Every structure is written in C-alpha cells, then in structure tokens.
Amino acid sequence: DKGNHRHFMAKEIYEQPETVSHTLAHYLDLAGETVKLREELPFDFAKLSRLTITACGTAFYAGLVAKYWFERYARLPVDVDVASEFRYREPPLPDNGLTLVISQSGETADTLAALRYAAKEGQHIAALVNVQESTIARESHVIFPTLCGPEIAVASTKATTAQLSILASLAIAAGQARGVLSPSDAHALVRALIELPRNISEMLRFEGRVEEISRNLSRAKDVLYLGRGQLYPIALEGALKLKEISYIHAEGYAAGELKHGPIALVNEEMPVIVVAPSDELMEKTLSNMYEVAARGGKIILITDAEGKAEAGGGIDDIIEMPRVHPFVAPILAAVPVQLLAYHTAVFMGTDVDQPRNLAKSVTVE
Ligand code: M6R
C-alpha cells in the first residue's frame, strides 16, 4: 500500500523520520542519552584488533560512512570492501577481528559468501539486516536489526538511513568501550542522533525546491557528485540512486580527486552536485566547487545555512539542510540525494519502483 504516495519509493522516503526514530529507540537509552545495546555481543569492542565491513551497493556505502565513524570516534582500524571483491580476494583476517556485513534483504549472494569466508577465517560475525529471517541473519553470531519495516522500492532509502543510524550507535558504543569517548562526548553524539528524526522531517519540507532543481537535472546526460570525508560516500550514494532510477549517467567522486581527472569533463552541460554541510572540511569542498564554477560548471550545492553564507551569492541552486552536528550530517544528507534522484526519475517517466534490469534482492553472483 503506497498510502497517498505515487510510488513506494516516495512513501519510504517519507517514512524516514519515523523509521529512524523507531530504529534508534532500539539502540539508545533515550532518557539517559546513551547507547544501550540489547543484543549480547559475542566480542568486546575494547579488544577488537580490526573491523572489516563488507556489503554491496548502497549497503556498502553505508559501510564506507561507518569507516569514518569507527576510525574517528573509536580509533578502531576499519577495512571496507564490496563483497564481490572481498570474497574472491580472500584477504588475511586478524585474530580477534570483527566482520560486519550489511544487507537489507539478508540474501545477497556475494555478501553471504563474504560472510562465510570471514566465518571460516575465525572472525566474529555481526550482521545488519532488515529481514530477520534471512540466510545472512541465520549465519551470523549477532544480528542488529534495522527495524524500518519492509522496503519495497528497488532503490534503497529507509533501510539506508536505518543502517546508518545503527552504525553510528555502534561507533559510539565502540568509542566508549575503547576509552576514546568520554561520557560527555558520547552524550553529545547521542543527542545529535536523537534529534535526527526531527531534522529529517524538516529536510523533507524542502521537497518543492528539490523538485524544481530536479526538472533541470532530468535534462542532463551526465552528473558528477562530490563530497569529502564522511560525505564522500553520500556523493557515491547520490550517484548510484540517480543511475538506478533515472538512467542518467552519474559518478560520485571524493572532492579532492576532482583535479586528478574528472574536472576535464566539466562544462556548461554537466551539473555538479556538491554535498557539503558545514564541518571542518567544508571550506575545502567549497574551494573544489569554485574550481567547477570557474569552468562554467552548473552547481547544485547541498549544504546548511552556514554553508550557504560561506558559499556566497554565485550559486543558483542550493538545497538547504537543517544545521546538525557534523557526526549525523551524512545520515541527513542521504535524504536530499534520495529526493533528487526520485524527482528526476519522475520527470524522466521511468518505472521508479521497478527500474529496468534491477532486482530488489540479488541472489545470484
Ligand atoms: O539487500 P542488500 O542490502 O544486500 O542489497 C544490496 C544492494 O543490492 C542494494 O543496496 C542496491 O544497491 C540497491 N538497489 C540500492 O538502491
């Protein structure tokens, strides 16, 4: 049932304030403003030597964001790889390592094979899954359920923000266990998570603006997405979403890589979407944005009020996010890139929920 929405994807985008809040309620003690895991952990975060994250598609991008969090807030070394590479590479895995697999469906063939390889190598296995009766859930030592309800649209939206919310909670738990985060540091991060559902609701109020911008985007043949630091995976995610449902060619790049190749593509025809809410790296990303503007590139900037002020008057298309703690900015920034892809696809007239050549669950390798 799509409710009042034209597509399941729109419904699922709109459910996010509620689904993120529901998921967080399972992982946080809201009153105490702390992380409280109900799952019994078969490992100790304090003693882990390394975290290996493996997944496919959007779930892989959620894992990439988590790498920034676990490294920064828990000083835990993290490797992230797509499952189809990981499984055949057969990497050496350390004693007392944790392998975390992320999968909405819990049935993705490559992710399952990666899990089995890691288990054979003696790793602790944890899985973030939405389908709790899935094969991946059954074969893991501990599962962290995403609790966002069934996701019907092929393009993942609410499962992604639920995955990110859990990964953020786990990074805080790890940071405390490893003595990196003080109780007050942890409180501040948890508070940012608690405010997130309200921030997402506020973000959704900018839909009209995103729709206007999408009208122009639907005329593009190629689109570049740029982000830096923990926003880099969101640039990748934005490009994947757009490709999947609008069939417009899009690439995500780390903003700092621009001058190492992709800037050669920039001309008046190619929109460049810059994901840069305010954080300590924003200025660097904005300077990459000016390099694009100087070459006649058409810019769509996703930022907050502070970023807007910093960017000055020359940028026509700005999608304004509510100002949040930089820690949770990637979760919030996932929403405008979903909306951009969605509205662009609607303008293109594609089959948004069932894009050509794609399946919801990829059970063949
Ligand atoms: O069910 P999974 O999370 O394991 O699926 C992984 C990918 O196939 C999935 O995220 C895919 O990239 C989506 N269609 C993205 O929107």
Bridge-based pairing state of the strands 34-35 and 298-303:
unpaired
Residue among 2, 284, 308, 360 flagged as catalytic: 360
pLDDT confidence band for 363 (50 / 70 / 90):
confident
List pocket residues of ligand 1, CB cut-off 6 Å. 56-59, 103-105, 108, 111, 154-156, 244, 361-362
131-144: average pLDDT: 98
Looking at ligand 1, which atom is closest to the CA of residue 361?
1
97-106: average pLDDT: 98
pLDDT for residue 198 is more than 90: yes
Q: How many CB atoms lie within 10 A of CB 317?
A: 17
Rounded distance from Cα 320 to ligand 1 centre (Å): 27
266-272: average pLDDT: 93
Nearest-angstrom CA–CA distance, 241 and 28: 29
Give 233-271 as a DSSP string: HHHHHHHHHHHHHH--EEEEEEGGGGGGTGGGG-STT-E
pLDDT for residue 153 is more than 90: yes
Rounded distance from Cα 57 to ligand 1 centre (Å): 5
Contact 117, 90 (CB under 8 A): yes
The continuous run of DSSP H or E covering 14 comes out as helix 8-14
Q: Using CA positions, which residue lies closest to atom 12 of ligand 1? A: 57
Token pair in block for residue 26: 């399972």
pLDDT for residue 210 is more than 90: yes
pLDDT for residue 178 is more than 90: yes
Give residue 275's pLDDT.
98
pLDDT for residue 10 is more than 90: yes
pLDDT confidence band for 364 (50 / 70 / 90):
confident
Does the annotation count 298 as an active-site position? Answer: no
Nearest-angstrom CA–CA distance, 251 and 249: 7
pTM, 2 dp: 0.97
The phi and psi torsions of 319 (rounded to 5 degrees) equal -105, 115
pLDDT in tens, 216-250: 999 999 999 999 999 999 999 999 999 999 999 99
Between residues 363 and 123, which one has the greater pLDDT? Answer: 123
The phi and psi torsions of 326 (rounded to 5 degrees) equal -55, -30
Token pair in block for residue 39: 């799952």
Residues β-bridged to residue 232 = none
Contact 54, 83 (CB under 8 A): yes
pLDDT confidence band for 171 (50 / 70 / 90):
very high
- What 301-308 contacts at long range (C-beta under 8 Å, 24+ apart), as own/partner pairs, is 301/273, 301/274, 301/276, 302/273, 302/274, 302/275, 302/276, 302/277, 302/333, 302/336, 302/337, 303/274, 303/276, 303/277, 303/278, 304/277, 304/278, 306/278, 307/276, 307/277, 307/278, 307/282
Q: What angle do CA 123, 125, 127 make, to 5 degrees?
A: 155
Looking at ligand 1, which atom is closest to the CA of residue 108?
4
Give residue 316's pLDDT.
79
Q: Which of 140, 156, 158, 351 to mutate to test the pocket of ligand 1 (most atoms within 8 A of CB)?
A: 156
Average of per-residue pLDDT values in the chain: 96
Rounded distance from Cα 157 to ligand 1 centre (Å): 10
Give residue 253's pLDDT.
97
DSSP state of 327: G
Q: Percentage of the chain with pLDDT > 90?
A: 95
pLDDT in tens, 30-75: 999 999 999 999 999 999 999 999 999 999 999 999 999 999 999 9
pLDDT for residue 314 is more than 90: no
pLDDT for residue 95 is more than 90: yes
pLDDT confidence band for 362 (50 / 70 / 90):
confident
Looking at ligand 1, which atom is closest to the CA of residue 157?
16
With b meaning 16 or more CB within 10 Å and e meaning fewer, what string describes 153-162? bbbbbbbbbb
